[in-house]
Structure 1
């Protein structure tokens, strides 16, 4: 199956690039069932359905929004303003291999920004955040906004161009109803394999240099930055704490601290936390204890979420999670950053950054 054929079929589908599955790029289509939660009171029943289908040997693929994660955590939350559900998973018998469309020429597309974050609102929020940082209520927070745009033309060409510019491991394309979700996330939220769960919080960024010398300098500056390492360590400790709630006693460990990953446009600092999942912990427990991700909330996590609630509009799928659960219990989920929603000629993309007192 080729992507172009999928678009002509006008049916829902999900494409996951190589980071999500051991066999590489995969396609899901023709679901046996779909699981959607549009309201908070539907979320727990949806998690139970996910568990039920996995026990029957099916694959589950989809997303959980940021707001669903805050609901699971017990923090204040807002209903999403997007047309997408809080939680969406589709049930499949098997994935398919997807064939590349080759070197076919790209068709035209247009991307016209209609709304950018308001500077005055941003600086008001920044003043409030700095006050909370000064008072010691939080140590770090991820503050976000949205860019809205009009879109016209060939969405497949748009996806190909963005994939070439951002060839990250956790790219995905989900078509649900009239909406296309295109995600170009470099960040692994967690991978679960043979009872071991690995999470890689991503905090600390430097741009690639314009010259080889500048590039080497920026890499060194990131590796030596006490500010970036402090921010990364806060979130790493947060994820250790979250994992401890669903893991065997004494199994949580940090296997890598302050590693630097190289991308086409940036250097990104990550750390790796792993644990052995408790035999009593099901998928409902994993989602409830880990969501929303620490790298896109802040520390302390609960207070950061409360401040996000007071300052931001609903995020929707942005900073939620996207991924695949296999019948054997293995799974991979990304943090839904660098993620676009496009439907009926309108689109949006979330933007944000981590803020500390030294920012």
Structure 2
């Protein structure tokens, strides 16, 4: 706001100087109130919201620095111009560190009032910029809160919609006449659930943008173990994962990968009447690398090493790994099958050579 619209308080025990300052500033259209002690100034500042305060350093009783501390403790502290003597530069620095906007040196000439007025103008401009900055920051906070609320609602709606689609697919699979059709619809349902779990975690968790991989994989493991187990045959799925978060888009792709690999292990690694275990391991490497391993103790790779079933799962694994910039491999180091998905961490940026030709 312009200086003429600012409410100004002058705190100084020299009443004559206060009257001169009041007369000088009122000729410029400013409104100035003065107090003859620090205690009186604090009382006025608590009763009336002042924009600017000119505060003298040396006063009987409560000195300038003590008064400044109390002014800064107000709910809406004013901009303070600290008035010092010509040999009190160190005091001015202490006042600036304590929260004063600026300082002015008191002199016995009329130049003091011109200097005080100029400093008050600058302080008013500084406060105006500060208020504008605070308003913009508040608007950004409000906008961010609105966007987070919208994102929360979006994840909630997406999760509910995917759950409805999953239920419809499940209903359709029960009505399918062929065994192969039922199995395919069940696979589709698992893929939908893998994606839906991400959105459920996003709207129920602490973050709207990242997914805790250990919680996510453990939840998926429980769902898949329940699907592929029966009263007599058990598919035990164990998760060994770091308590680490990944961006939602990356977590979705990894979730689809894990779903395919675990589903294939549950269906093909063990006999129909045989219980078995599937293990999921996940570790971060560096800032953006990771290693995913799904392994079982089943029959391992066949002689032709070809995919079992329709082969769609293998195609999905290949496509998902490629989209992540990861490499995948299948091996049978002993008993069973081991599938590794590995994305190497990005190389750290090297500092360029300095201007003198030497490394920085």
TM-score range, shorter chain: under 0.3
Report the TM-score, using the length of structure 2 for normalisation: 0.21
Structure number with larger C-alpha Rg: 2
Report the TM-score, using the length of structure 1 for normalisation: 0.21
